[in-house]
Structure 1
Amino acid sequence: MIRPRWQALKPQHGLFSWRRWDQAIAVIAAVNLTWVSIDLTYIPLRNFWLQRNLYPVPSLPLVVPLPWLPDITPWLDPLKGIEPHRDTEAYLKAFTALDRALQQNGPRTAESNDLLQHQVVLTTALMDSNPFISSGQAGALEKFKNRLRARTGLESARDSANLLLSPEHLERSPWSQERQFWSQQILPLVESNYWRSIDENGRPSDLSWRIDTPFQLLFLLDILLRAWRLKQRYPAIRWRDALLRRWIDLPLLLPFARWLRVVPVTERLCGAGLLQLEPLRAVISRGVVALLALELFEVIAVRVVDALQQLIRSPQLPERVRGLCSYQSSDLNDEREVIELLRLWLPLLLTRIGPAMRPQLQAVISHLMQQSLDRNVVPDALRRLPGLQNAESEFSRQLAESMVTSVLDLSKGAGNRIGQRDPVLESLGSEALDRLWEELAHTLEQGPVLSRSQDLLVALLEEIKRSSFRQIRDQGDVDALISELDGLNFNPGRPTPKDQA
């Protein structure tokens, strides 16, 4: 491949240190991508990060606790403008006080009775006001009611709350058991509710740009350094072109559509040698290229055959043939190229290829002459004389040899003269070609030759197109093509002598 003139390479210095820098930036970019993925999914997955419980089947009470995961809500809630909701926060505080009183004094004391009644009032108010709507978790209240109904078997969630928080029920069921129900199934739903502030533009508050900005500044510095390194390697390249070479890094600088950063991060990890995706890329690209190759070949073949058919059907075909004449062309280079090709190939045919075929030419001419003598010259009565056939064969051989020798000698001389530049010969050759095109065009214009030739050629091309595409469809299975490529790539071939050595 020819190198562009501006790519005058200079020796690279400090290549090892720059590779270390690229690897460090690639790791930082991977960290930033991790942060972006957490930031983009934090609001939908806040309940998971808050409780760190995994529900494989949402319709079943199956919980997989993940206590080893860190609780990131205290750090990310302020960035998202998330604060505890007043109603749910008051509900949780009241339950904490109730839990402490029941564990210390039991359900029959005046303090515990008041706290139970207060908790019933808060539960009823929670059902009536539905504070979960502000956080987009209206379904949490439905889960809250359904779990109360399932616990008591009653149809009303309010009646279920009154029963579960009554002193009589707590005397029959120990608070240790009821406390586990409230702590594991009810309170997590209440804790998931929050209140999110609104900025001056009427949109939910989001201060995550404070963490993303340092990464973007670092990526901008790295892009400038890469452009400078490219400028040092190819001095003739312009700064604009050097910066455009890093177009793939644009998502690293955009404050929106940040999920696109997976593309430049993957490219940097692969370029730094920290991630190997070449086998996966090869498998994917091989399937895509095989599929596109078949489709593209069919489209190109159809267009080419259709163009040829339109050209043949054109009533101006004789004029197009006549347009090949030198005096009809405005560009003399085409005619000169034809003359140069003839001047190149005619000497080869006359001086090399023709003499190399001397034995074959002599045999053909000798055979033809002997047949002519047998049919036209020698009478049937003399043909029966002994030795006459041998004489005919020898005479035919000598005559053919002399004729071929004379013709080849003449062709060698003509080839040597054609190989030399001769203005007169070039002019004569140009006139001969012009005459050829003129006679061909004149012949096409006379009689039914043109229309009949057009019909035959178009039918021939149509048949070629149909048969070829039928064969392509029969053999165009992408899976079979990929299997054939695998056989060529992975099957061991016959060892060469160099391999055997």
Structure 2
Amino acid sequence: MNNDRWSMLNEMTIVTRLPKRRTRKYRPNLWFERLMALVAVINITIVAFDLSYIPLRDFWLSGQVTLGGIKTAYIKYDGIKLDLIPANISAFITRYDAIKGIISNRDTQEYLAKVEQLRKELAVNSVDSPVVKNLFGDLRRRSIEIIQTNAFSEANKTGNLERIKNRMRSHLPSRDNSAKAAFWRYWTPNNFQGKVTEELNFFDSEIKPLMATNYYRAVGDNGGYIDYFGVIDFPFGVLFALEFLGRTWFISRRRVGVSWLDAMLWRWYDIFFLLPFWRWLRVIPVTVRLSQAQIINLNSIQKQLSQGLVAGIAEDVTEVVIIRLINQTQASIRNGGLSRLLSQQTANPYIDINDTNETAEIIRILAKVFADRVLPAIQPEAETLLKYSIDKALRQSPAYQGIKMLPGGDRTMTTLSHQLVSQIYSAFSSTLQAALAEDEQFDRLLETLVDNIGKSVSSELQAQQSMNKIELLLIDLLEEIKINYVERLSQEDIEDILEQTRSLRNIAHK
């Protein structure tokens, strides 16, 4: 029987020492979370494109970015133009104009059409031909009209008009530095005489791209600009609405005491997906979903936010709580709470729940530990101290001077002090151990002594003069604590406290 039990124990030990096979925890909802997070990212990307399309339309239209352009009274540097988007892709992206209700501006489009017509005529006729002269006159008139009416103001592209005027002034400078005069001289046969290609290339590279940025936005019946983005966003809204209802319903079914409305409030951030306005707030649920899908880790950010919140309210909360506690203690003392507490201790009978005097028992245990463990451990040091004290006392006595004159007097005194110290220490230790032995009489005397000490202290403190003085001193002490320490605590750097907290957490995790 014993052999069988021993073999069974050995088999269990071997099994427990074998390395455990790691089992991958299967989470059936993780892939669904990742799928919905991906859909949310696609939606917020489309929203970001829609919100930035109007401000970035010039970039989508030209596909160019100019780096390092500088123009001052002393330095002029056009910068470096980078073609980031091919023309065919730009043409595809700018089809989004139909969603935003953007149509070409009539004045600038007719202006560019006239320039194209002039280009064709110059390809077959000279600059002095009647048709070309008529086109030059029409372009001069249109240029002045565009400048005077500020045809770019409706699209908030007045800055582009100023750039057009500055480029034309730089191309044809004059004394009065007038853009109207520069355009007037530009569209003349004399300016194009012998340099048709150069002037048309200047217009195509410097003026035409800025002219093409001008547009007009159609206005709907409600007085606002036409915007069909809701048609694109509607399928996402339906999907997120169905997911929100289903998810909150399952939460209310799986959580005890959670209603469907409570579950909706639980997932409050998903409501931003359902709002047709303030769409930029969808970045909040998208970030939360990416964290829940374990695609990004927000623990460090959450920790910093929580610590920042703690740093913001810890000072006020700590000061309010401590001051309230001190004020309540002061009010209780003023109302005679200390007197009632002491009177209840003497007037009311003491209720014993275990037939043991805990105070006397604690004193006896501490004394026993002191006698059995502490005194033997410190015996050499204690005897040395006693010996030094006794030798010092003997040397100061008149009898020592007489004994010292005798042969062997010093050695006799040394031996005497050593024996005296040893006997005193041993007697004290033996007496204490004997007193702490099982002795009912000693226990009763100890309990009586402790009770009498408590009663005497309590009765003496209840004297009216002593009690009033103690109450006043306690109230003043609490007031000093409130002034000297609570205000200092409110001024203490909370960041230092948080830094100490982080250090303690790191030590605990190691």
Would you call these one fold, judging by a TM-score over 0.5? yes
- The answer to whether the 8 A contact 1:39-1:208 is kept is yes
- The answer to whether the 8 A contact 2:65-2:84 is kept is yes
CA distance in 1, matches of 2:321, 2:354: 26
Is the counterpart of residue 45 in structure 1 residue 45 in structure 2?
A: no
CA distance in 2, matches of 1:486, 1:354: 39
One-letter code aligned to 1:320:
G
Structure 1 residue 235 displacement after superposition: 5.6
Is the counterpart of residue 272 in structure 1 residue 293 in structure 2?
A: yes
Q: 1:167 aligns with which of 183, 186, 189?
A: 189
* Equivalenced residues, count: 450
Structure 1 residue 142 displacement after superposition: 2.2
Secondary structure of the structure 1 residue equivalent to 2:205: helix
Structure 1 residue 482 displacement after superposition: 9.7
Is the counterpart of residue 249 in structure 1 residue 270 in structure 2?
A: yes
CA distance in 1, matches of 2:354, 2:220: 78
Structure 1 residue 350 displacement after superposition: 6.0
CA distance in 1, matches of 2:285, 2:210: 39
- The answer to whether the 8 A contact 2:248-2:260 is kept is yes
CA distance in 1, matches of 2:375, 2:85: 98
Structure 1 residue 407 displacement after superposition: 5.3
1:126 counterpart residue number: 146
Is the counterpart of residue 19 in structure 1 residue 8 in structure 2?
A: no
- The answer to whether the 8 A contact 1:26-1:268 is kept is yes
Secondary structure of the structure 1 residue equivalent to 2:222: coil
- The answer to whether the 8 A contact 2:343-2:462 is kept is no
One-letter code aligned to 2:438:
D
Larger deviation: 72-81 or 196-205? 72-81
Q: 1:451 aligns with which of 426, 450, 472?
A: 472
Structure 1 residue 34 displacement after superposition: 0.9
One-letter code aligned to 2:370:
M
CA distance in 1, matches of 2:69, 2:282: 31
One-letter code aligned to 1:357:
F
Cα RMSD (Å): 5.1
What's the CA shift string for 1:110-145, capped at 9, x where partnerless? 322222222222212212222212222222222222
2:18 counterpart residue number: none
Q: Classify 1:26/1:151 alpha carbon distance in 2 versus 1 (closer, same or farther; 3 Å).
A: same
One-letter code aligned to 1:135:
A
Is the counterpart of residue 221 in structure 1 residue 242 in structure 2?
A: yes
CA distance in 1, matches of 2:28, 2:478: 67
Query: 5 Å matches for 1:60-459?
Result: 60=71, 61-62=78-79, 63-68=81-86, 70-71=90-91, 74-154=94-174, 155-172=177-194, 174-231=195-252, 233-234=254-255, 237-278=258-299, 281=301, 285-286=303-304, 298-299=315-316, 302-303=319-320, 306-307=323-324, 310=327, 314=331, 316-317=333-334, 319-324=336-341, 346=359, 349=362, 352-359=365-372, 401=430, 405-406=434-435, 409=438, 440=461, 442=463, 446=467, 448-456=469-477, 458-459=479-480
- The answer to whether the 8 A contact 1:119-1:165 is kept is yes
What's the CA shift string for 1:409-447, capped at 9, x where partnerless? 3579979xx9xxxxxxxxxx9xx9999777645557646
1:4 counterpart residue number: none
- The answer to whether the 8 A contact 1:362-1:404 is kept is no
Secondary structure of the structure 2 residue equivalent to 1:33: helix
- The answer to whether the 8 A contact 1:80-1:205 is kept is yes
CA distance in 2, matches of 1:18, 1:483: 33
- The answer to whether the 8 A contact 1:48-1:54 is kept is yes
Structure 2 residues not aligned, in runs of 5+: 1-24, 72-77, 384-388, 404-411
What's the CA shift string for 1:262-287, capped at 9, x where partnerless? 111122122223334555x27xx44x
CA distance in 2, matches of 1:394, 1:213: 100
CA distance in 1, matches of 2:442, 2:98: 98
Structure 1 residues not aligned, in runs of 5+: 1-13, 419-428, 494-501
What's the CA shift string for 1:60-94, capped at 9, x where partnerless? 53332222454455432222221112212211211
CA distance in 2, matches of 1:171, 1:179: 12
What's the CA shift string for 1:212-252, capped at 9, x where partnerless? 11111111222233224434543653222222221121211
CA distance in 2, matches of 1:344, 1:205: 89
One-letter code aligned to 2:235:
P
One-letter code aligned to 1:349:
I
Structure 1 residue 182 displacement after superposition: 0.9
Q: Classify 1:467/1:197 alpha carbon distance in 2 versus 1 (closer, same or farther; 3 Å).
A: closer
CA distance in 2, matches of 1:467, 1:236: 45
CA distance in 2, matches of 1:83, 1:245: 45
One-letter code aligned to 1:158:
K
CA distance in 2, matches of 1:392, 1:277: 71
Q: Classify 1:459/1:246 alpha carbon distance in 2 versus 1 (closer, same or farther; 3 Å).
A: closer
